[in-house]
Amino acid sequence: MSSVKSLSAEFIGTFWLVFGGCGSALFAATFPETGIGFYGVAFAFGLTVLTMAFAIGHISGCHLNPAISLGLAVGGRFPYRMVLPYVVVQVLGALFAAALLYTVFMGQPSAEIGSFAANGYGEHSPGGYSMTAAIVMEVAMTAVFLFVIMGATDKRAPAGFAPIAIGLCLTLIHLVSIPVTNTSVNPARSTSQAIFASASWPLEQLWLFWAAPLIGGLIGALIYRFILVEGEGN
């Protein structure tokens, strides 16, 4: 598959992740009487990955996340030379989605952008969790996410079920970590929302939501390579 097609697929996939996931948080989570709550938001993020994994997994691998691209490279599943191009188009796809969400959101006369579904810690954590708690959560959740992705896409795994496992894993990650950080595990997702937020703190805290997921992705890849090295039999 050509790099142009792969990069285009990553742009579209990351757009869908942010538009569907963050859109559910902005528009549907708190809708009077019929709001989906954070359970619905968690499910929405999982659905974006599940649907796109089936749609573009065979084209680009459906990373949709700089931490996943880097982790897969460290895990021997992805060429290092493609990491930066993937990261660039993932961020651009996320920004395009956030721009459209911003346009729709501002279509409501009483709209106030505020944090715009951004990630945060300390006083900006949904549950008031500290920076240390946020780091631990984001590193751990991203490490597990990368581990599941590598395991589900291993040639020894049941064929055709990887998107389901990966989508459900992201749903569970959100169920656990929304109260702590509003769930990032994805620097592209975090960057897109922070840029369009009217408050200044999302950009000030954005460093954590790049550093922690990238570290988590590296850890997940290294653990998988150590425990379940491809090609080894038991």
Q: How far apart are CA 204 and CA 188, in angstroms?
A: 15
Q: For residue 234, tell me if it sits in a domain.
A: no
**Is there a domain that residue 36 lies in?**
yes
Using DSSP, state whether 61 is helix, strand or coil: coil
Task: With respect to residue 35, please indicate whether it lies within any of the assigned structural domains.
Answer: yes
Domain count, the chain: 1
Domain that holds residue 75: 3-106+116-227
Where residue 212 sits, what CATH number does that domain have? 1.20.1080.10
pTM score: 0.94
Length of the chain: 234
Q: What tens-digit pLDDT sequence spans the chain (234 residues)?
A: 579 999 999 999 999 999 999 999 999 877 777 778 889 999 999 999 999 999 999 999 999 999 999 999 999 999 999 999 999 999 999 999 999 999 999 998 887 888 999 999 999 999 999 999 999 999 999 999 999 999 999 988 887 899 999 999 999 999 999 999 999 999 999 999 999 999 999 999 999 999 999 999 999 999 999 987 645 554
Contacts of 40 (CB under 8 A, 6+ apart): 24, 28, 29
The answer to whether position 232 is within a domain reads no
pLDDT at residue 113, as a whole number: 86
Confidence at residue 159, expressed as pLDDT on a 0 to 100 scale:
79
Q: Say if CB 221 and CB 146 are below 8 A apart.
A: yes
- In three-state secondary structure terms, 102 is helix
Report residue 111 as tokens: 């709209």
190, 107 contact by CB (below 8 A)? no
Residue 111 domain flag? no
67: in domain: yes
In the prediction, which pLDDT does 232 show?
Answer: 57
